[in-house]
Chain A
């Protein structure tokens, strides 16, 4: 993520969105302008603390004169732009994008994405029933460009067994919509560890370590910042995964308590999520000036010593 320091006063740029004029600083995105007007534009791969990747395409809007729709999360405002955020074309694109995602990815722990499915009236079942899940390791074995006959009678998904190779967090790539956020958080946007990257190509593209080695054999430092940015629960605290599997995860019973990490002098803000007196996970607010939402292994996972 680039941190913009206020070096010089920026010029204001005026654009029209859904018939309403709005003025935003030069360099702002169309999403910034929409939000200034209070227009609720859906996003999945966008996060305020990461570089925009504009890959999910759910935030697309219509700019007058442009041949295609444009991603509002990354497109910079230009003076005089005339933008529509709720045209027929935009709604169709957002509905189809959600249908494509919901028909290929398990969104059961992604309430935000499920809300977009509802909001745009997406009917993923139009593409047919899900075809059988891949066996463990099968997707990793697929090679770029090597064709496989499509499974008949339905819609292929990224369903596959969950990867559990450490005690801190699990990787359930059946829930991965490939937003690239974890890669960014692991890399130059936060942690600078570069333990994971996107590997493979096309529908078989996936988040992977080198040669798919387990996380403990990779460069991973278990900061858990990938979990912090994952929008679908594909990356999940082991504690949450266990409780969910046992049917005991209940967010209505949980309380969130903001505190300051006690390990070192940085003073990271930590939100402790507790259920029935037990800490079940730790996060940090994205708007915290200290953390930008990111923590280290101690803040993220080192709460085992806390007893009620």
Chain B
């Protein structure tokens, strides 16, 4: 391979920022393209470094990164242009990414954006953009503020007002990250949220004083076989939505002949309406570090990666700190708790791509490729990160593990239902009095969850609830008795998905939300397969026509076409994104009579 490099050189600050990630450039070329190829996983970190320093990825910066990592420039460009948060043309150093997704829309983001359009003219210093869900739904309307420089500033902003947005853009005032509302703070019986808000998330001592790292000690006592036994018996299934038994996944990797093996934490929580993993990582970061360490020791992996969405700067900060603390205290590194077992964790940040929450896309993204999912089989337990056996679980799933290891499967199963043991985190947002993350036993009725969140704002009744996010489905006002367990939701033809419970009342018009969902899938499709790449565009066109009451032909024909399209996206798309892209829209048509009002 004889690579042709981009001719433009990087500026000195770009070079320094990139070298800080890749190390200083060698005097002479390494001579071995294999050694450079093995470092391709540093592509995203290097792109982040360049963008964070000057606000965009210039041809000079991209060319330098590609030369250092021996990545063909066309491929490097293909990767950089895949992610929404990388700009490939010069832009102002400061940017406000204003969320206009579901929960923020319900909280008035549209009028805020209209006002911003009138009041905030673009300048050389700052710009603002619309953004898909930022995972701050309990603090809606929300935004993410970024300012390039040394150091780069990245802060989430909750409860955004026009005045706040204008002040941020004008003065770049220092932003303090909002702390989440923890509506269950101090309640007994919490497992995942037991420490949230009660411990100092930056203190390992405080963590240990509240029961932290007992599970790892126990895991070392009972050994990998013991951990796997408890995990299988606990009945824990993945909380990302696919419900795969976690114990079986770990067993498969533990038994896989190939080495090395990896543990990957999917912290790319991007499903609109979802913010539970953010709360876990911000409030109890050591729990995730401990859980991943248990996973590593159990399946025989010495390296773990946390793939964290870029929109979670506070989680990144706290996890980085937690990993460093754990390493300093011998809980990570060449010997874990003094035993002859090694485990290390690295954080990898996404760059704005919902599809990277799909496990194979996530692995491709870590490896330095476009976040394109691939066909399964083979599954990551056999062919995962860098082609090796890999345990990949999301944050909530992993955070269930310490409880199971410490207290045993029977204790774990003491709450929940027979088919859905344990508790679940629900992300309650929308028109409720107390939005936030709620941890409740699986099987809790939907009405009870909404009541726990203070009921509908102003004392009304829910008109509809979106369960599972944009990839989930709507249920109507008659579904308050629905028990939120895997079996009950499956029976009702809905999904808990990532735990989204977005509550709507009669004050919220439904159809603009459907248009937003259709737009979301169009924007987030990776573009690989035809059913999703073109199907999501056609779906948005159909939803737009139906919303304007301008069907081509007639309403019945358009609704039938939408159904057929949904069927084929579900049946023939490569990954879960296309397979679920029509779910919410179809459910709203079926259950809530969307698009029929005003038709004869």
In whole Å, how far is A179's beta carbon from the nearest beta carbon of chain B? Answer: 9
* B205 interface hit (Cβ, 8 Å): no
Are A201 and B81 in contact, CB atoms less than 8 angstroms apart?
Answer: yes
B574 contacts the other chain (CB 8 A): yes
**CB distance B561 to A194 under 8 Å?**
no
Q: Which residues from chain B contact A198 at a C-beta distance below 8 Å?
A: 78, 370, 527
List 18 additional A-B contacts (Cβ < 8 Å) besides A178-B527, A219-B72. Answer: A144-B84, A145-B132, A152-B550, A194-B3, A194-B72, A200-B81, A200-B527, A201-B353, A202-B526, A202-B533, A203-B525, A205-B527, A208-B74, A208-B81, A209-B73, A210-B74, A218-B74, A219-B3
Interface: B87 (CB within 8 A) = yes
**Chain B, 483-497, contact with A by CB distance < 8 Å: what is the 0/1 string?**
000000000000000
* Assembly CA distance A153 to B531 (angstroms): 21
Q: Mark B50-90, 1 if CB is under 8 A from A, else 0.
A: 00000000010011001000001111111001111001100
B78 proximity list for chain A (CB < 8 A): 197-199, 208
Closest to B88 in A: A211
Interface stretch of the complex, out of B210-218, B260-268, B505-513, B562-570: B562-570
Contact present for A203 and B529 (CB under 8 Å): no
Cα distance, A54 to B572, chains bound together (Å): 11
- Complex contacts, B541 vs chain A, CB 8 Å: 127-128, 150, 154-156
Q: Are B526 and A201 in contact (CB-based, < 8 A)?
A: yes
Contact A147 B523 (CB under 8 A): yes
Question: Are B522 and A202 in contact (CB-based, < 8 A)?
Answer: yes
Q: Are A100 and B130 in contact (CB under 8 A)?
A: no
Q: Which residue of B lies closest to A200 (CB)?
A: B81
Evaluate whether A203 and B81 lie within 8 angstroms (CB atoms) in the complex, with A93-B572, A128-B541, A194-B1 already known: no
Stretch with Cβ within 8 A of B (4 or more), from A66-74, A259-267, A270-278, A285-293: A66-74
Contact present for A68 and B572 (CB under 8 Å): yes
Sample of 21 A–B contacts (CB below 8 Å) = A55-B530, A57-B531, A68-B573, A74-B375, A93-B572, A97-B568, A101-B530, A126-B561, A152-B548, A152-B550, A153-B552, A155-B541, A197-B74, A197-B78, A201-B527, A202-B522, A203-B534, A204-B527, A208-B74, A210-B73, A218-B74
Q: Please name the 5 residue pairs, one residue from A and one from B, whose CB atoms are nearest each other, closest first.
A: A145-B84, A205-B527, A194-B72, A197-B78, A210-B73
Question: A202 to B537, alpha carbons, bound, how many Å?
Answer: 9
* Cα–Cα, bound, A29→B567 (Å): 25
Partner among B1, B87, B524, B545 whose Cβ is within 8 Å of the Cβ of A202: B524
Chain B residue, CB-CB nearest to A204: B527
The listed residue (A68, A74, A147, A204) touching B130 by CB distance below 8 A is: A147
Within 8 A of B (CB), among A163-215: 177-178, 187, 192, 194-205, 208-211
- Chain A residues lying within 8 Å of B574, measured Cβ to Cβ, are 54-55, 57
Interface status of B579 (Cβ within 8 A of chain A):
yes
Q: How far is the CA of A247 from the CA of B529 in the complex (A)?
A: 34
A135 to chain B, nearest CB (A): 17
Contact status A60-B527, CB under 8 Å: no
B271 located at the interface, meaning its Cβ lies under 8 Å from any Cβ of chain A in the complex:
no
Q: Is the CB of A54 within 8 A of B375?
A: yes
CB distance from B357 to the nearest CB of A (A): 14
**Quick one: which of B6, B565, B570 contacts A68, CB cutoff 8 A?**
B570
Interchain CB contact under 8 A, A203 and B537: yes
Pick the contact of A60 from B522, B525, B572 — CB < 8 Å?
Answer: B572
**Which B residues from 171 to 211 make CB contacts under 8 A with A?**
none
The distance from the CB of A245 to the nearest CB of chain B, in whole angstroms, is: 28
User: Are A197 and B77 neighbours in the complex by a CB distance under 8 Å?
Assistant: yes
Q: Tell me which residues across on chain A come within 8 A of B6, comparing CB atoms.
A: 210-211
Residues of B within 8 A of A149 (CB): 544
* Structural contact, A219 and B527, CB atoms closer than 8 A: no
The answer, among B377, B524, B528, B573, for a CB contact under 8 Å with A145, is: B524
Instruction: Compute how far the CA of A194 lies from the CA of B73 in the bound complex, rounded to whole angstroms.
Output: 8
Q: Is B300 engaged at the interface, CB distance under 8 Å to the other chain?
A: no
Q: Does B4 contact A (CB under 8 A)?
A: yes
Interface residues of A in 75-89 (CB under 8 A from B): 75-76, 89
In the assembled complex, which residues on chain B have CB atoms less than 8 Å from the CB atom of A202? 522-527, 533, 536
Contacts of B353 in A (CB 8 A): 144-145, 201
Docked pose: A57 CA to B578 CA in angstroms: 12
**Best-buried of A56, A76, A152, A194 by chain B (most CB within 10 Å):** A194
